Copies of this chain bind each other. A is one copy, B any other.
């Protein structure tokens, strides 16, 4: 008893931080290190020859993007911009190399930095420090675009976004690793009761075991909670993923890796409105225009649109649970039809968006509650899943 009491009163400080298991560098880690080292060597070789060193990055803009429905996502074009060392670029040149050097250390130590932390780390760089995070983000985006040419994502460089990941429940075992002992961890996503598994910021190291028939990506936390509390994942033999609006990078990458690895289809269940279709679903499936260098990692080309569709509003008699489209909705829908290569490439989508515009209304997934709280489980999802060929592309 006495011993326990003294332990309670003792400060936590005497305990040493947990030692982390030495980690075998995997293939991608080796690739990351080799990219960083070869870039640095090129710069050094230029200096040794008394030439001004230069770094070349892919141009990140809509003008340098292409979309091929067969590839399935917005790709980076061939445009490049060079950053040569001059009086004007000396600071950003140094910052680029510094950030790449941190990245090397983090890969070697199995550590990471949020984009915000990376900005703060620079405060110890003397004159090379960043004054605003927008500066460090821009340099990081360039490095990321460079690495993407080698099939490496920013997470592989160990820079993570600040954003929160999505939640997962259902017939899935996630394979992770104890950071201290290196022992394998099996995380059974059927075992969390009313709670769920929260996706970490980086998912590259995760493995998966599942016999589930599909992944259901769900827009709202409320719908996710309903399907989880009623163990819908058991009756439908699936995996539920809550995206919480537009899915974060980690959530998209998690779904993509899981779907690729286990070869299972992905169905999106979102609100029937231009935001749900042109932002949430489009970003999930093909990525976004101004981040084309990362789409190859973060989009889920195999995703299909289960609903809610404009036709569902009619088929499930939801008219009096709809809301009129606002000006911003109409603008977003028209933009999608006019400017978005994804919707232009798929006729069924043109038809669906035209239908929504002519009906002049939008419907949320929770509107199905009009027919009873569990209508979605007992009627809507089974009827939709019985005709998967009708899903929008």
Contact = CB atoms under 8 A, between A and B. Distances in A.
Contact of A378 (B17, B198, B202): B17
Interface of A: 8, 11-13, 15-18, 20, 106, 111-114, 116-118, 120-121, 123-124, 129, 160, 162-165, 167, 174, 176-180, 185, 187, 191-202, 205-206, 213-214, 220-222, 225-226, 229-232, 234-238, 242, 244, 320-321, 364, 366-374, 377-378, 381-383, 385-388
Interface centre among A13, A18, A129, A232 (most CB of B within 10 A): A13
A314 B234 CA distance: 55
A176 B244 CA distance: 24
Contacts of A201: 194, 221-222, 225
Nearest to A370: B123
A112 B234 CA distance: 19
A195 B191 contact: no
Contacts of A16: 235
Nearest to A211: B4
Nearest to A323: B132
Contacts of A196: 197-198, 200
A23 to B, nearest CB: 12
Given A162-B220, A382-B11, A20 B230 contact: yes
A222 B116 contact: yes
Contacts of A117: 222, 226, 366, 369, 373
Given A191-B187, A201-B221, A373 B229 contact: no
Contacts of A15: 235-237
A13 B185 contact: no
B221 A164 contact: yes
A385 B18 CA distance: 17
A235 B11 CA distance: 11
B11 A121 contact: no
A200 B193 contact: yes
**Copies of this protein in the complex:** 2
A225 B176 contact: no
Contacts of A373: 106, 111, 113, 117, 121
Given A113-B369, A198-B198, A11 B222 contact: no
Contact of A164 (B17, B164, B386): B164
13 contacts: A13-B386, A18-B234, A111-B373, A113-B369, A114-B220, A117-B369, A120-B321, A123-B370, A164-B244, A179-B194, A179-B231, A195-B200, A201-B222
A112 B229 contact: yes
B197 A230 contact: no
A260 to B, nearest CB: 18
A185 B191 contact: yes
Query: Closest 8 A-B residue pairs measured CB to CB?
Result: A176-B193, A13-B382, A114-B222, A11-B386, A194-B200, A198-B198, A117-B369, A120-B369
A12 B114 contact: no
A378 B14 CA distance: 10
B113 A374 contact: no
A7 to B, nearest CB: 8
A198 to B, nearest CB: 4
B198 A197 contact: yes
A195 B179 contact: no
Nearest to A368: B120
B187 A192 contact: yes
Contact of A8 (B213, B235, B372): B213
Contacts of A123: 320-321, 367, 370
Nearest to A205: B194
A225 B112 CA distance: 10
